[in-house]
Amino acid sequence: MVTAAVLLAPAPRFRKPLSTVVEAGDGSLLGARIAGDGQWRFPQGDKVPAKFEKALLISEDRFFYYHPGINPGSILKALILNIKAGHIVSGGSTITMQVARMSGGNIERTYPAKTIEMLSALKLELLTSKEKILKMYVANAPFGGNTVGLEAASWRYTGKPPGNLTWAEAASLAVLPNSPGLIFPGRNQDSFRAKRDALLRKLYKFKIIDSLTLSLAIDEPLPGEPLPLPSVAPHLTDHFYLTRKGEIIRTTIDHRIQEQVNEILERHQKELEGNFINNLACLVVSVETGRVLAYAGNSKGSQNDEYERDVDMIRAKRSTGSILKPFLYAGMQHSGELLPNTIVPDIPTRFPSFTPENFDHTYRGAVTASGALAQSLNIPAVKMLRQYTPMRFLELLRQAGLSTFDKEAGHYGLSLILGGGETTLWELTGAYASLSRVLNHYNHENKYFTGDYHPPVLVDEGNDNPDKIEDPYPLLSASSIWLTFNALLKVNRPSNEAGWQYFSSSRSLAWKTGTSYGFRDAWAVGTTPEYVIGVWAGNADGEGRPGLTGISAAAPVLFDLINIMEPSGWFTEPMEDLTTIKVCRTSGYRAGPYCSETDDIPACVEGLKSGICPYHQIVHLNSTMTRQVSADCASPSEIKNVPWFVLPPAMEHFYRLKHPEYKVVPPVAEGCLPGKGVPVMEFIYPSDGAKIFIPRDHTGDFTRIIIEVAHRNPSKKLFWHLDENYSGTTRHIHQKELTADTGDHILTVVDEDGNTIKCSFTITGEYK
């Protein structure tokens, strides 16, 4: 009958909501969120700390490991006390019985309830081990106020994990479940101290602690007012509160690095607030594993609510600015459409509804691709994307891990390379880490692996050494990544980092900044073979600020962060994946027959398919090499055939201003026909076939269009004609204001020597 009653008794179960607890990789607490019922109730820990277990058993149930769930001696003793008192003053409960009572909601103490409690305790002992029962008690015992369980109590009252409790702290917490009201500061202190000290003396009596430990423990102060829980990574804690509520999450965060990152961000935030830049975020990732070492979703600053400090800017979608340019450079290296120092046009460029400009509003005529990347020039990047196509680039970004680009290529167009799309600091940092991982693995094993592209890792899944599946068709070759990182190594650092290359202690870092349109977002990402650090600065509400640029707001944070990391070397050159290509020294293209000065450079194997230098050609000159001549105006013996570096007129117009060594091809001699291979004029704007939207002014009339031509000899007089109607003359500065109705037009420009160029364009009434 007793056995049947035991089997029918309710099995203790705990269904109360739990707090969300987030830990660093070493088990230290990063942060926690209160349970849904307003209690600090941490999920059950893996084990009970030895000091607390000994103190608890001496205080509550010395024979816990020996009785079957009830202790007849304790019950008889309690019964006698209750009869003498005339009411219940003691229950004689074992820890197992207390577990049964707590699972039932700590119902009123009556003899029928006590009977059910004992039967449940017996059933629990039959079904569960002593270790599990003890852990159930420790996880669910009341510790005063809204604190439940040892894990929460230890942090709330001592500010440390249970495993680090002193004997005095362990004894203090061990007496609380039976008298949780003792903990209120300023009340019951004498009673609390008496209970704690009595327990310490029992520990000494049973030879668990020695006399010195007893003396020191008694001198320790009592726990006081509950302490605020650690909040080392609040935005990460919020993330798990939303995604894994009620769990203990052991993350990959390095507690030391996280605290250093927080400190650096707060220091820089104070400086940025002077310019009303109120938010700052950072992510630090290990390249090899992808583990997140630090996660600072937003800076604390002044904690003013209007600054939206609670927004996790690591997960927020923001305009990319030019932070994606390295992916385009690497993609074009990989496909063989570009060599490292191939020159790219940098001249005024206009597209329908899109007119890119360099940040400094100047033009260089032509610039090497690597130089354009290092200087983050916009116009060369747009021209490179036009060649590579937005569709191919969009696919490259997605495969690299940037899933936020979820629209068709036509939606972004060429502005994709300048911030026409949005990404997150989470995905951006992960994508850079993937590139570094690919390069490292290739250098170690001369192979590519399908698993190298993956997001950052916040929680280890117990698979540190996954099977490596070889990838026969890598997204980007090791050589293309290495060449890209070498170009990024030359990016000009912030002013306080000037001359870094002359100091042996300086860190080599491939890094890139980005600034979105309207100065709303500032980015900086840097990578070494071991670490990738991503930084974002701006305002969470999207407000732009003058001076909010990647180089001024985000880069100084990046370099302070890289200095707290372990020293790192530089990426190994992927020799097996590189080839040597002879290039024209001036143009960076593969050397053609007319390139007089060449260099042998390392490049991707696919670079062998790239084009021959189009800018070196044979120019026919007179004997003094001062005029161009031809067979119709000079004898063959007087003609010198000279290789010459000749840029198109528009490129030459701006290139000469930056390169005084550039030699302009001599003019055509009098009486000679102009050579077909060396045009003297070129339209800067508009381009042939352009569709132009011209807005109307306040009177309803169309505003004017400014057209521009580059001439190798600016002093020449140019004659302008629109649709065969004469429009005027220019000299030196070849710009002209014209008014044209909607429809198709032909613009003709003739110089005083009779050279002619034409351009057809269309004026549209709608902005497209």
Give residue 71's pLDDT. 67
Q: Which residue spans of the chain are classified as CATH 2.60.40.10?
A: 681-764
Identify residue 616 by its one-letter amino acid code: H
Give residue-wise pLDDT tens across range 43-71.
988 889 999 999 999 998 888 898 887 76
Residue 534 has which token pair? Answer: 């991503």
Q: Please answer whether residues 647 and 613 qualify as being in contact, where contact means their C-beta atoms are separated by less than 8 angstroms.
A: no
Give residue-wise pLDDT tens across range 647-669.
998 899 899 989 999 999 888 88
Residue 522 has which token pair? Answer: 């500032």
Give residue-wise pLDDT tens across range 538-578.
999 999 999 899 999 999 999 999 999 988 889 999 999 99
Q: Please answer whether residues 32 and 19 qualify as being in contact, where contact means their C-beta atoms are separated by less than 8 angstroms.
A: yes
Residue 324 has which token pair? Answer: 């994606």
Q: Where are the alpha helices (DSSP H) in 61-206?
A: 72-85, 95-103, 111-127, 130-140, 150-158, 167-175, 189-205
Residue 386 has which token pair? Answer: 């036009």
3-state secondary structure of 513: strand
Give residue-wise pLDDT tens across range 340-379.
999 999 998 887 667 889 988 899 999 999 999 999 999 9
Give residue 76's pLDDT. 59
The CATH code that applies to domain 2-219 is 1.10.3810.10
Ranges of beta strands (E only) in 168-290 are 248-250, 279-286
3-state secondary structure of 737: strand
Identify residue 587 by its one-letter amino acid code: S
Query: 725 has which bridge partners?
Result: 722
Give residue-wise pLDDT tens across range 429-481.
999 999 999 999 999 999 999 999 999 999 987 655 556 799 999 999 999 99
The three state secondary structure string of 21-79 is EEECCCCCEEEEECCCCCCEECCCCCCCCHHHHHHHHHHHCCCCCCCCCCCHHHHHHHH
Residue 34 has which token pair? Answer: 């209160």
Residue 433 has which token pair? Answer: 């880490």
**What's the residue count for the chain?**
768
Residue 293 has which token pair? Answer: 């070492």
pLDDT confidence tier of residue 505, bands split at 50, 70 and 90: very low
Q: Please answer whether residues 457 and 252 qualify as being in contact, where contact means their C-beta atoms are separated by less than 8 angstroms.
A: yes
Residue 33 clears pLDDT 90, i.e. is over it: yes
Architecture of domain 681-764: Sandwich (2.60)
Q: Which residue spans of the chain are classified as CATH 1.10.3810.10?
A: 2-219
Evaluate if pTM is beyond 0.85. yes
Residue 155's contacts (CB-CB under 8 Å, 6 or more residues apart) are 29, 32, 161, 227, 229, 230
- The most confident of the ranges 60-69, 259-268, 751-760 is 259-268
Q: Which of 111-120, 469-478, 526-535 has the lowest mean pLDDT?
A: 111-120
- CA–CA separation, 289 vs 351, rounded Å? 43
Describe the chain by its helix, strand, coil percentages, rounded to 5.
35, 20, 45
Give residue 493's pLDDT. 64
pLDDT averaged over the chain? 87
Neighbour count for residue 536 (Cβ, 10 Å): 30
Query: 148 has which bridge partners?
Result: 41, 142
- CA–CA separation, 182 vs 145, rounded Å? 10
